Amino acid sequence: MGESILKNKSFEFSLSIVAAYKKLRENGEYVMSKQLLRSGTSIGANIAEANMAQSIADFSSKMYISLKEANETLYWIELLSMSGYLDTISAEKLTNDCKELIKMLVATTKKTSLRQQ
């Protein structure tokens, strides 16, 4: 899988996160929604940064940060869902998309770590 696919998927996911954030704010949730927005959009931002990395180590570091942010995003999605702020359909879609990004990021970080050895 090329980085452009990952970059595109992460950008689309960011758009979904922004939409969820707006809906959460309209429903009066201000604290957790901000955390979701921060971590969810950070995934794609770090992938974009990785594509301009100065070295393989820099690339690997940015991708690993994206992976950590994706895992944090899963936490916020689950918390918002279990606390009743996110409806089941929205939570499932966000969860599935986030898990797909995680799989892609794991594959990328593994592949990159092999190149560094």
Q: Among 103, 108, 13, which Cα is nearest to 53's?
A: 108
Residue 116: per-residue pLDDT: 67
Q: How far is 33 from 27, CA to CA, in rounded Å?
A: 10
Structure tokens at 95: 């969860």
Residue 95: per-residue pLDDT: 98
Residue 115: per-residue pLDDT: 74
The length of the chain in residues reads 117
Q: How far is 37 from 16, CA to CA, in rounded Å?
A: 10
- Backbone CA torsion sign across 8, 71, 64, 53: positive
Residue 112: per-residue pLDDT: 86
Diameter of the chain measured on Cα atoms: 49
List, for the chain, all residue ranges whose pLDDT scores fall below the cut of 70: 1-3, 116-117
Residue 117: per-residue pLDDT: 65
Strands (E), 5-97: none
Whose tokens are 């922004």? That residue is: 18
Condensed to tens digits (0 to 9), the pLDDT of residues 68-81 reads: 999 999 999 999 99
Residue 1: per-residue pLDDT: 39
Q: Among 36, 20, 108, which Cα is nearest to 69's?
A: 36
**Cβ atoms 15, 39 nearer than 8 A:** no
pTM, two decimal places: 0.92
Structure tokens at 116: 């560094």
Domain 3-116 has CATH 1.10.3720.10: no
Whose tokens are 């957790």? That residue is: 32
Residue 3: per-residue pLDDT: 54
Domain ranges of the chain: 3-116
Residue 40: per-residue pLDDT: 98
